[in-house]
């Protein structure tokens, strides 16, 4: 039998049929929904008199537009009437179509890509879709997961299938452990800096090697989350003992005889020896340093000890023009050191870095310290109500507040400027999110992507610094 990659195995086991145009129809095991990309789908189902094919294979929770303050007031605490309407519409649609919902006020509510794995809804071997590009996060559990558009949300609700085209296979092999103070976020930015934001276009990335095997489950989620920023649609990590330990005992995970049977099946969720990849990128774990973006694309990244490139270093005229525009927007000089760049705000959260391990890492830096007076606002936003509860049980909220941070309620928050948490024009933010496009965190806002510990260090210093100095 031909050796297959993990991606091949997941695809083959869910392919209903191959279609004449070269695409395939895939069966979808889990469909996650939120308030922004689902209204159109439900409206069309209602108009056509259709019902979800398997409502029990879906879960909805509001996250993108929800405010992170005054949550005890429910939608009455929303200043934005559009956001209020979207969340109320989600609640009504889930009620009308009998789709399970974790609403505001439910301890399980949170960022959909935190909630799925946390609840054991996302399981190894599944296909998972959501109307959000960072659905790739779930691939850390050896699941085939990716984002879909609003029309596809309707199609999956109605048929439990998705028309899709198979990607090529790409391996990112990390040899050896990451160094002290270096985490999965740095590894992701390092890879994106090497291959560019289009480097994995048309590919599914499998993260492999001893450096990946040594990562925790939550770190693997961060890595798969940012595979999107490398141009891939899918990020994957093979099933192993780390995956099993993470899944076991979660609310929706199999139990008893089903758990035994599931583990037996999941052991095959890895690439076979001799499986062929269309592209292989090799990384030495010890070569990765804490990374910071300087521009308006995740590929505009340097080690914290590095400098912003000069325009003459660009590979071609297109990149030179991109760099020139980014330097103007970010108000930074070419050739300058990124270390020491002053910041105005700090954001620790998002589907990339709002899990308990992320909050612990930031709190270790902040304990016994205060944020610099130059920092106007510092936000710590847990990824779910359960993450918040665990953090509060450990006293992490007290560490953040004592340092000068605001401890907020779960949601996407300042990641995308779609709610009340956003940058003002010209403000510079140390952010643990995943995108640094122009206006991503608010019109005219300037975003520097980094790890939670690096963001905490920037808050203390009032500028971008190397966390290892602290």
Residue labelled with tokens 């160094």: 179
Strand order in the sheet with 345-348: 406-407, 377-380, 345-348, 428-431, 446-449
Do 347 and 441 form a contact (C-beta atoms < 8 A)?
Answer: yes
For residue 173, the SS3 value is strand
94 is in an annotated binding site: no
Alpha carbons 149 and 131: distance in angstroms, whole number: 6
412 is in an annotated binding site: yes
Within 13 Å, how many C-alpha atoms sit on residue 227's CB side? 32
Do 458 and 464 form a contact (C-beta atoms < 8 A)?
Answer: yes
Do 211 and 175 form a contact (C-beta atoms < 8 A)?
Answer: yes
Alpha carbons 353 and 79: distance in angstroms, whole number: 26
Q: Give Cβ neighbours of residue 359 (< 8 Å, ≥ 6 apart).
A: 348, 380, 382, 387, 391, 396, 400, 452
From the centroid of its chain, how far is CA 112?
Answer: 10
429 is in an annotated binding site: no
Q: Tell me the C-alpha to C-alpha distance, in Å, between residue 108 and each of 143, 256, 401.
A: 22, 24, 23
Alpha carbons 286 and 284: distance in angstroms, whole number: 5
DSSP letter string, 191-231: HHHHH-TTTTTTEEEEEESHHHHTS-HHHHHHHHHTTGGGT
Q: Tell me the C-alpha to C-alpha distance, in Å, between residue 68 and each of 80, 115, 302, 409, 470.
A: 13, 17, 32, 5, 30
Q: 110 pairs with which residues across the strands?
A: 384
Alpha carbons 239 and 420: distance in angstroms, whole number: 39
Buried b (16+ CB within 10 A) or exposed e, 58-75: bbbbbbbbbbbeebeeeb
Annotated binding residues, written as ranges, equal 351, 412, 415
Annotated binding residues for [4Fe-4S] cluster, written as ranges, equal 351, 412, 415
């Amino acid at each position: 039998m031909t050796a297959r990659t993990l991606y091949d195995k997941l695809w083959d086991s869910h392919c209903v049929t191959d279609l004449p145009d070269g695409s395939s129809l895939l069966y979808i095991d889990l469909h996650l929904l939120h308030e922004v990309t689902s209204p159109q789908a439900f409206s069309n189902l209602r108009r056509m008199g259709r019902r979800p094919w398997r409502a029990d294979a879906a879960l909805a929770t509001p996250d993108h537009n929800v405010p992170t303050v005054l949550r005890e007031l429910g939608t009455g605490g929303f200043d934005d009437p559009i956001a209020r309407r979207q969340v109320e519409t989600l609640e009504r649609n889930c009620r009308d179509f009998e789709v399970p919902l974790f609403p505001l006020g439910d301890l399980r509510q949170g960022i959909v890509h935190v909630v799925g794995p946390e609840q054991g809804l996302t399981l190894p071997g599944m296909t998972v879709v959501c109307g959000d590009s960072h659905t790739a996060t779930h691939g850390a559990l050896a699941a085939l997961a990716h984002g879909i558009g609003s029309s596809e949300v309707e199609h999956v609700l109605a048929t439990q299938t998705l028309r899709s085209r198979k990607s090529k296979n790409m391996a990112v092999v990390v040899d050896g452990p990451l160094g002290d103070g270096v985490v999965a976020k740095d590894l992701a930015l390092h890879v994106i800096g090497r291959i560019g934001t289009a480097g994995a276009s048309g590919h599914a990335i499998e993260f492999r090697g001893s450096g990946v095997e040594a990562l925790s489950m939550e770190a693997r989620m961060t890595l798969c989350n940012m595979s999107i920023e490398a141009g891939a649609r899918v990020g994957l990590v093979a099933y192993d003992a780390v995956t099993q330990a993470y899944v076991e005992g979660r609310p929706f995970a199999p139990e008893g005889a089903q758990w035994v049977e599931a583990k037996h099946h999941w052991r095959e969720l890895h690439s076979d020896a001799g499986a062929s990849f269309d592209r292989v990128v090799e990384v030495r774990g010890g070569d990765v340093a804490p990374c910071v973006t300087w521009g308006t694309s995740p590929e505009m990244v340097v080690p914290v000890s590095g400098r912003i490139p000069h325009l003459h270093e660009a590979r071609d005229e297109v990149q030179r023009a991109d760099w020139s525009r980014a330097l103007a927007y970010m108000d930074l000089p070419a050739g300058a050191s990124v270390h020491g760049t002053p910041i105005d705000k700090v954001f620790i959260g998002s589907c990339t870095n709002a899990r308990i391990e992320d909050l612990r890492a930031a709190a270790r830096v902040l304990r016994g310290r205060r944020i610099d007076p130059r920092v106007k606002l510092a936000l710590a936003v847990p990824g779910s109500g359960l993450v918040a509860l665990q953090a509060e049980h450990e006293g992490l909220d007290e560490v953040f507040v004592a340092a000068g941070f605001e401890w907020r309620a779960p949601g996407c928050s300042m990641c995308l400027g779609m709610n009340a948490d956003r940058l003002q024009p010209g403000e510079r933010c140390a952010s643990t999110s995943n995108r640094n496009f122009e206006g991503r965190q608010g019109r005219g806002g300037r975003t520097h992507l980094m790890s939670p510990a690096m963001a905490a260090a920037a808050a203390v210093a009032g500028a971008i610094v190397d966390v290892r100095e602290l």
